[in-house]
Chain A
Amino acid sequence: MPKLSRRQVLVAGSVGAAAMATAGCSDPGGDAATEALDPSAKVSISVGDQPTEDKPDQLAAFNKRIEEFKAANQNIAVEASPEKWEAQTFQAKLAGGTLPTVMGVSLTYSHELIENGQLPDMTPYLDELGLVADLNPLALDNAKDDGGKIYTIPTGLFSVGIAYNRAIFAKAGLDPDTPPATWEDVRAFARQIKAKVGGVTPYAQMTTNNTGGWMLTTMTYSLGGRVQNDAGTEAVMGQQTIDALQLLHDMRWGDDTMGREFLYDQEAVRQAFAGGTIGMVLQAPDCYFTVVKDYGFDPADYGQGALPQGGAGGNGTLTGGTLKLFDAKATPNQLLAAAKWIKFYDFDKYYDQAAALADAESNAANNSPVGLPGLPPVSQAVYDRYLGWIKPHINVPLEQFTGYTAATLPLIAEPPAGTQQTYAALDPVVQQILTDEGADIVRAVADANATVKGIIDQAAR
């Protein structure tokens, strides 16, 4: 058999490679759906956030809701998926198209996803379901573009406060019903805990997996500063960020009230808190759910205050939450079905007393927290009515959240441009202050401004 010449092989290989490259470069969004909307058409969707097997109560409750939804919507086939948002893998899965038709994602991504065309226009579907009118207007601002189109549904809203261990407070001679209101309080309380209670970290700070930047942003807000300007075009960290870092530096190196672990992320710090080794840590009230339900922390020991403030006070706190991410490549019928699911699963309880009671009873029966304080995804009037319905089933010790619920701090949105990248860039700044006694804080903030500006410019390309 005559051998193929090297040239022939090369030509064949090049043609193949070119074909591969062309295939690889083809527009992955090219299969956008064009079918007409038909609410009664048979359709299949997948829904994320199904609890995992290690949480059998929550899993059973979720699956029950799926069955109820399917019974009420015979034309919709629903497949549950345990997929949930994780900062470290989200972008890859989004790009790879492996996420379910709808799932919860940090509200942080809202502006970025809308600008990048990674969210479908949900306005017609939400209008069809009559879901827009009663949504919390503050949250809805995060879900719209400049033209007023709505791309997502915000749920699970929160504002950051401070979680504290009431038992440690009592041991330290502090009043468990009086959380720290100012950063001076935090520092003084931490000193007192250190003096009176051995073997605990009086005040812990998250520093890894973007939580360091998240919390530095929160502290900056509490002192009256900002990390980016409102338009998200400039990095504007200034004296307030320097003051926040100086406070952490002094607590770490002067007071020695921050323990020895400086590489906490949210999960790790909640585990340590549930283990009873942390006195205070910045957290939103949903921390209660994790530490009590998942890690067995005694509810009687959980205390929640508003975010401590600096300066004259009343500067504000950072808000966040969850957005429902709909698959940009889904068909109109799938999007409508997914929106129906979200309405059924997350919103019906606010409008239907029977649904509210069934939901509360189910949660109470499997020892999940009922009535956990937070910012409502619906208007305050609708939310108050809902709280009235479920009052007999509320099992969260609301009096231990008074410091949080009684506060009227201004709610400040997250930095708008490259939010998670900005947080990631600020992680090492906080870590540096906590692990290097001689760190130059002013320079660290100046460098951080330069880095964040680079991120903003890259995001705006």
Chain B
Amino acid sequence: MSATPEAAPAARARRRARPRVNLTRWAKGGGLHAVLFAVPVVVVYLYFSWGPVVQGLVFSFQKTNLIRPAEWVGWSNFEYVLGDPGLVQASLNTAYFALLALVFGFPIPIILAVLVTELRKYDTLYNALAYLPAVIPPVAAILLWKFFYDPDSTGLFNSVLGWFGLGPYPWLNDSSSAMPSIVLYATWAGAGSTAIIYIAALATVRTELYEAAEIDGAGIWRRIWHITLPQLRGVIFVMMLLQLIGTFQIFSEPFLFTGGGPNNATQTILLKIYNYAFVNGDFGAATALSVLLALALGLLSAVYYFVTRKWSAA
């Protein structure tokens, strides 16, 4: 809310009239205690939350291996990562993953949540079943899925598809199918925990709305379209933003499934950052690309916020 033209000079006058801070009075009044109480929290927060951020920013302008003294190298790290021939493909791969995850992975938890909520019986059981993949540690789950994706005809998925005369498919061993295979896994792994959030949100939708719609003769699809989805809109927008940011930071799946292969088909920006830092030991390049990614994600979040704010208000 903006101030009216008349209110602004009054506010300025009040600010001018504010008495100067008397330190003794302030300390006696408990101000010092408040600061002493706050200092540990602020220091811990600054050191552990903002310390690495600031240090990352500093590293992006340095050449350092953390043993020898760091050298300032200006924009050289940024020039190197922006000139890396693999950056374009890594960016496209990341965007491709985000798109696939959005188109296929995003609606599934919503559908799952609506279906579970619509169930009159055994909803707890289905709830638990939907959430089960989230209980399995990602590394163990990915190793399991690597067996499922075995490219031989004896692999689990290929065996099942073989019963219907399909395959064998190369799955992770082909540039065109590697990323969709990873998205399939990521959807399986992530749908349950996201669905739980939607289910919780659905519980807040007033049942009178459904009862009124039913009395008016609305079928299940009309109830979902006209009541459920509009009521979930706020949660859906937040979840979409979180998913977008999450998908742009995808790392463990390509790292463990394919190492970025085949032929860089699953090389993502975060995997590139990891390789710069932990394989090449080039912390300057890694932090430079991290800063660029953070800027891009900040921009994306801002655009998303302003666009969806309009939608939300509509």
- Min CB gap A439→B, angstroms: 8
A444–B209 Cα distance when bound, in Å, is: 62
Kindly supply a per-residue 1/0 record for chain A positions 414-440, scoring 1 wherever the CB is within 8 Å of any chain B CB and 0 otherwise. Answer: 000010110010011101101110010
* A300 within 8 Å of B (CB atoms): no
**Which residue of B26, B46, B277 is within 8 Å of A91 (Cβ)?**
B277
Known: A262-B262, A263-B258, A432-B263. Is A461-B279 also a contact (CB below 8 A)?
no
Kindly supply a per-residue 1/0 record for chain B positions 52-70, scoring 1 wherever the CB is within 8 Å of any chain A CB and 0 otherwise. Answer: 0011001000010111111
Q: Are A117 and B67 in contact (CB under 8 A)?
A: yes
* B107 within 8 Å of A (CB atoms): no
A209–B258 Cα distance when bound, in Å, is: 9
Q: Which residues of A contact B311 (CB under 8 A)?
A: none
Using a CB-CB cutoff of 8 Å, which residues 1-56 of chain A contact chain B? 1-2, 4-5, 13, 16-17, 20-21, 23-25, 27-29
Q: Are B84 and A263 in contact (CB under 8 A)?
A: no
A141–B280 Cα distance when bound, in Å, is: 23
* B78 within 8 Å of A (CB atoms): no
Q: Which residues of A contact B85 (CB under 8 A)?
A: 447, 450-451, 454
Q: Which residues of A contact B174 (CB under 8 A)?
A: 435
* A368 within 8 Å of B (CB atoms): no
Q: Which residues of A contact B65 (CB under 8 A)?
A: 94-95, 116-118
Considering the complex, give the chain A residue whose CB is closest to the CB of B168.
A260
Q: Are A88 and B54 in contact (CB under 8 A)?
A: no
Q: Which residues of A contact B296 (CB under 8 A)?
A: none
Q: Are B175 and A2 in contact (CB under 8 A)?
A: no
Considering the complex, give the chain B residue whose CB is closest to the CB of A268.
B146
* A408 within 8 Å of B (CB atoms): no
Known: A1-B34, A24-B55, A421-B280. Is A263-B172 also a contact (CB below 8 A)?
yes
Q: Which residues of B contact A329 (CB under 8 A)?
A: 67
Q: Are B170 and A25 in contact (CB under 8 A)?
A: no
- Min CB gap A443→B, angstroms: 12
**Which residue of B84, B261, B277 is within 8 Å of A431 (Cβ)?**
B261
* B230 within 8 Å of A (CB atoms): no
* B275 within 8 Å of A (CB atoms): yes
Known: A92-B278, A418-B280, A428-B260. Is A21-B55 also a contact (CB below 8 A)?
yes
Q: Which residues of B contact A207 (CB under 8 A)?
A: 261-262
Which of B112-120, B243-251, B281-289 participates in binding chain A? B281-289
* B25 within 8 Å of A (CB atoms): yes
Considering the complex, give the chain B residue whose CB is closest to the CB of A260.
B151
* B76 within 8 Å of A (CB atoms): yes
Task: Report, as a range, how many residues of chain B touch the other chain.
Answer: 35 or more
Q: Are A95 and B67 in contact (CB under 8 A)?
A: yes
Q: Are A25 and B281 in contact (CB under 8 A)?
A: no
Q: Are B263 and A2 in contact (CB under 8 A)?
A: no
* B73 within 8 Å of A (CB atoms): yes
Task: Report, as a range, how many residues of chain A touch the other chain.
Answer: 35 or more
* A170 within 8 Å of B (CB atoms): no
Kindly supply a per-residue 1/0 record for chain B positions 16-29, scoring 1 wherever the CB is within 8 Å of any chain A CB and 0 otherwise. Answer: 00000110011001
* B86 within 8 Å of A (CB atoms): yes
Q: Are B278 and A91 in contact (CB under 8 A)?
A: yes
- Min CB gap B47→A, angstroms: 6
* A240 within 8 Å of B (CB atoms): no
- Min CB gap B182→A, angstroms: 12
Q: Are A91 and B280 in contact (CB under 8 A)?
A: yes
A1–B30 Cα distance when bound, in Å, is: 7
Using a CB-CB cutoff of 8 Å, which residues 194-226 of chain A contact chain B? 207-210
* B259 within 8 Å of A (CB atoms): yes
**Which residue of B70, B151, B263, B277 is within 8 Å of A261 (Cβ)?**
B151
- Min CB gap B25→A, angstroms: 7
Considering the complex, give the chain A residue whose CB is closest to the CB of B85.
A451
A17–B54 Cα distance when bound, in Å, is: 8
* A96 within 8 Å of B (CB atoms): yes
Kindly supply a per-residue 1/0 record for chain B positions 181-215, scoring 1 wherever the CB is within 8 Å of any chain A CB and 0 otherwise. Answer: 00000000000000000000000000000000000
* A358 within 8 Å of B (CB atoms): no
Q: Are A25 and B29 in contact (CB under 8 A)?
A: no
Identify the interface centre among B46, B275, B281: most chain A CB within 10 Å of its CB. Answer: B281
Q: Are A435 and B279 in contact (CB under 8 A)?
A: no
Q: Are A261 and B280 in contact (CB under 8 A)?
A: no
Considering the complex, give the chain B residue whose CB is closest to the CB of A207.
B261
Kindly supply a per-residue 1/0 record for chain A positions 317-351, scoring 1 wherever the CB is within 8 Å of any chain B CB and 0 otherwise. Answer: 00000000000110000000000000000000000
A434–B83 Cα distance when bound, in Å, is: 27
* B152 within 8 Å of A (CB atoms): yes
Q: Are A20 and B46 in contact (CB under 8 A)?
A: yes
* B298 within 8 Å of A (CB atoms): no
Known: A17-B50, A20-B47. Is A458-B80 also a contact (CB below 8 A)?
yes
A424–B262 Cα distance when bound, in Å, is: 13
Known: A24-B51, A260-B168. Is A91-B281 also a contact (CB below 8 A)?
yes
Q: Which residues of A contact B218 (CB under 8 A)?
A: none
Considering the complex, give the chain B residue whose CB is closest to the CB of A16.
B46
Q: Are B68 and A208 in contact (CB under 8 A)?
A: no
Q: Which residues of A contact B34 (CB under 8 A)?
A: 1
**Which residue of A23, A87, A118 is within 8 Å of B67 (Cβ)?**
A118
Kindly list the 10 A-B residue pairs having the minimum CB-CB distance in the complex, ordered from nearest: A91-B281, A432-B263, A95-B66, A260-B151, A431-B262, A24-B55, A208-B259, A435-B262, A431-B261, A1-B29
> Known pairs A17-B50, A118-B67, A262-B262. 12 more at Cβ < 8 A?
A1-B26, A29-B68, A91-B280, A95-B281, A262-B173, A424-B275, A428-B267, A432-B175, A436-B263, A447-B85, A454-B84, A458-B282
Can you list 27 contacts pairing A with B, beta carbon distance less than 8 Å? A1-B30, A4-B21, A4-B31, A16-B43, A21-B58, A27-B69, A29-B67, A91-B278, A94-B281, A116-B65, A117-B65, A117-B67, A118-B68, A208-B259, A208-B261, A259-B152, A263-B262, A329-B67, A421-B282, A424-B280, A431-B264, A432-B262, A435-B175, A439-B263, A454-B85, A458-B80, A461-B63
